[in-house]
Structure formats: C-alpha cells, structure tokens
Chain A
Amino acid sequence: MLEHVELFFKSIFIDNMVFATFLGMCSYLAVSKKVATAVGLGAAVIFVLAVTVPLNWLLDQYLLRDGALAWLGPEYADYNLSFLSFILFIATIATMVQLVEIVVEKFSPALYNSLGIFLPLIAVNCAILGGSLFMQAREIATLGLAFNYGFSSGIGWFLAILAIAAIREKIRYSNVPPPLRGLGITFIITGLMAIGFMSFGGMLTGGDEAPATEPTTAQKSEKEKTTLEKEEQENAVSYNTLVKE
C-alpha cells in the first residue's frame, strides 16, 4: 500500500512529466492558451495513460523482455524481443486511442464532445509513449503499480497544463517585451515552474531515512559526473602533493 502512495506522489510532483522530463511539450505549448481546452486535453491524457501503461506493461512482461516467452514452454525461454518494444508500444497506443474514441463516441456522447478533438492528437503525444518507455526503463513491478504510474503521471501532466494555461490567460494583461510574447515567455515561465518543482525532490526522503526516490536519468548522470569530478579532484590533489614532495 505504502509503495502505491509513494509512487503516486512521486509521479505527480517529483518526476512530473512536463517539468522533470519535458514529455508532451508540443501539445503542452500548443493547447495551453485557454483553461477550458487545457482541461479537456489534460483529462484525455490521464485517461489514455491510465489505459495504455498497464496494457504495455502486460506486453512487456509476457512478450518482450528477456525470457518473457517462457510461459509458452521451455524452448522459448531464450528469446529477448525487447528491440521490438518501440513498434509494439506505439501500435498499442495508436489502436487504443482509436478504440477509446469509438467506444466513447458510442456510449458517452457528452464526454466525446469534450474529449473528442483531442483524442487523435494524443496518439502522437510524447507523454503517452514516454509513460510506457519509462515504465519499462524503471522496471515497475506489478500491474497495479503500472496502472498507478500511468494514472498519476497523467495527473501530473494535467496539473502542469492547467497551471500554465491559467498563467497564460493572465499574462495577456501584462506588458511583455514584444519579441518574447507568446512562445518565448511561455518557455521561460515553464523553466521557472520547473525550478519550483525541483524543490519537491526532498518530499519523499523525509529527513532521516535513506533517499527513497530514484533519481531520473538526467540527474543520475549528473550525480555520476559530480562524483567523477570529485574523484578527479582528489586525484589531482594527491598528484599535487606527490609532486611537491
């Protein structure tokens, strides 16, 4: 239970799709001029992520990863089809989006009218494929966690686009330098919001305990870099002392 809660808050705030990994930026920038449309797209993203991530988790678990075909019999245990994951994931997403569109149109015309125009856009939203790829890269353990991951990442994306849309509605009344108007200022505001979201990084570690969060890939490489630099420094220092001696 605790890991569910942890994953939930971690995917919303710490690993926020927009602010930490820049996923779905294209539609984030293009559809954030009004709050109402932003809410529509955000809801569609939550919905599609919550459906496709668990589905791709099943695909990954029982078809793609190293030894995943073992359930077919021992002679299949050696296959590793993970090089096919891009094409299978994107095919799943594209078909799911079509299917969801048809089902929603049939059973809930009201929902279709509010989500409808955004659904086709979503097939090529990097947040959706990114969700599945990160799910694979972070080795999410169970189907329940995969659903949780998709759903809460969607909420994180929703919050981000809602926030920027609200800011952009207000910024229309401000005197922005002309060359920055529109796209430029949106980029800079997003950057500042991302800096703000970085402060959530300490949320789950809670002081005494060992850090429970796994750093994102970018941060990880930075960390490796800093440790490397430290080692280099130490080496240089010891070298210098040696030379002096």
Chain B
Amino acid sequence: MALLSKKDTNLILDPLADNNPITIQVLGICSALAITAELKASIVMALSVLFVLGLGNVVISLMRNIIPSKIRIIVQLVVVAALVIIVDQVLKAFAYELSKTLAVFVGLIITNCIIMGRFEAFALGNGVWRSFLDGIGNAAGYGIILIIVGFFRELLGSGTLLGFPVLGNPIEKTGLYSIGYENNGFMLLSPMALIVVGLLIWVQRSRNKALIEEN
C-alpha cells in the first residue's frame, strides 16, 4: 500500500504486542486498572486515549520546532489538558452515566505516562504523519490490554458482556448456571485488575522468551 510504508506499518503494529505500552514499557497503568470492571468503560477509556494521543501527537509534532526545550513539559501538559477537557465535556454531554463511572479517571488521562512518554520520545523528533501513526498505535496497544482485562473481569465477575447476559440467567438458572456455575464477584474488586494484568504479562512473556526480564 502506498499510503503506509513498511516502516509506518510497524509504527502501528509494534505497540500492539512486542512493545506494548502497558505490559512492556510499563506506562499508563494508573488509569488502566481502575476502570476495567466493565467492558463498556474500558472501551470508552480506550477511545478517549486514542483521541487524545493521536491528536496530541499531531499538535506537538507541529509545534516541535518552536517549543523552547526548557518549558516543553508545561507546553505538553497544556496541550493534553485541553484535549482531555474536550473529551470530558463530550462524555458529560452524551454519556453522562458513563462519565460518572469513569469519574476522575478521565481527568487522569492528563498524567497518563503513555501520553507524555510518546510526546517526549516520538512527537518532538518526528514528522506529523508518523507521529499520528505512532500515537494511534500506542493508544491501540493500551486499549487492547484495557479491553482484554475488561472482557475477563466483566465476563467472570458478573457474567455479562457490555451489560448483556451471555452465560445465561443466574436467577432463573439457565445456560451455564443450570450446571452449578457461579459468578466470581471477586473479579469486580479492584485488586483483581492487578492480578489479571500480571497473568497477561505471564502469558505474553512465556510466548515470547525475548521479553523475559532479569530478576
């Protein structure tokens, strides 16, 4: 494809697995864990970060030659904060219930280390189009982990996906519940998010031995 050279494709695909922001680079964990009890909240969070990171990378990349390096952190923070305010206001206007569940974690996208990390490491030194792709790729890598964690926590915790019962009805004992299956309410509590991510890291690193760390 002429639109995306091989190098550009790698910009998007690398962060999805082998250079994933959450499981490998250890960035942006803060907001990732707290809101993954439901799949819907995880998807909205992933989309918000996609918007902020994609657009923020473009803005920073456009300004990269005029930002004095001494005050670049403040400039970056202002750009992110402005984008996050847009996301927050849009969520409040069109998905009020959801914005209540996400609460302060929308605001915390500002200090999501993935965003500052990509600004510093990529957008300040690269062109607009490549920065955009890099932003989209990293946000997607972040989103994938969020969605996987949200999927398992909602499925095992409340037996639903996006609010639809998929394992049968626990009250009328249909589906899986007819053979004695029970929801594991523990999955909805916040510590389980950490453990699920820990297990994900385990799976990923046993598949790809090159990623194993020294103790």
Contact = CB atoms under 8 A, between A and B. Distances in A.
B14 to A, nearest CB: 18
A188 interface: yes
B110 A180 contact: no
A183 B108 contact: no
Given A26-B27, A125-B111, A94 B77 contact: yes
Contacts of A192: 191, 195
Interface string B184-211: 0000111111110111011111100100
A242 to B, nearest CB: 14
Given A179-B206, A179-B212, A194 B191 contact: yes
B85 A86 contact: yes
A91 B107 CA distance: 13
B89 A22 contact: no
B3 interface: no
A218 B215 contact: no
B78 A188 contact: no
A129 interface: yes
Contact of A120 (B73, B205, B212): B73
A222 B30 contact: no
A26 B29 contact: yes
A113 B204 CA distance: 39
A83 B89 contact: yes
Nearest to B35: A218
Interface string A104-136: 000000000000000010011110111001100
Contacts of A29: 26, 29
Contacts of B2: none
B193 to A, nearest CB: 7
B95 interface: no
B107 A129 contact: yes
Nearest to A128: B111
Given A90-B111, A124-B113, A26 B215 contact: no
A237 to B, nearest CB: 8
A202 interface: no
A236 B172 contact: yes
A20 interface: yes
B30 A22 contact: yes
Contacts of B191: 19, 191-192, 194-195, 198
Contacts of B189: 195, 198, 222
Interface of A: 19-26, 29-30, 83-87, 90-91, 94-95, 120, 123-126, 128-130, 133-134, 137, 171-172, 176-188, 190-192, 194-195, 198, 217-218, 221-222, 225, 232-233, 236-237
Given A129-B111, A130-B108, A183-B26, 15 more contacts: A24-B30, A26-B26, A29-B26, A86-B81, A86-B88, A94-B73, A126-B113, A129-B108, A130-B111, A137-B103, A179-B204, A183-B213, A187-B197, A188-B194, A225-B158
6 closest A-B pairs (Cβ-Cβ)?
Answer: A182-B213, A187-B198, A191-B194, A179-B205, A194-B191, A191-B195
29 contacts: A20-B190, A21-B34, A24-B30, A25-B29, A83-B85, A85-B107, A86-B85, A86-B107, A90-B81, A90-B110, A91-B77, A123-B73, A124-B77, A129-B110, A130-B108, A137-B103, A172-B215, A176-B215, A178-B209, A179-B206, A181-B213, A183-B26, A187-B198, A191-B195, A191-B198, A194-B190, A194-B191, A198-B189, A232-B171
Interface of B: 23, 26-31, 33-34, 37, 73-74, 77-78, 81-82, 84-85, 88-89, 101, 103-104, 107-108, 110-113, 116, 158, 171-172, 188-195, 197-199, 201-206, 209, 212-215
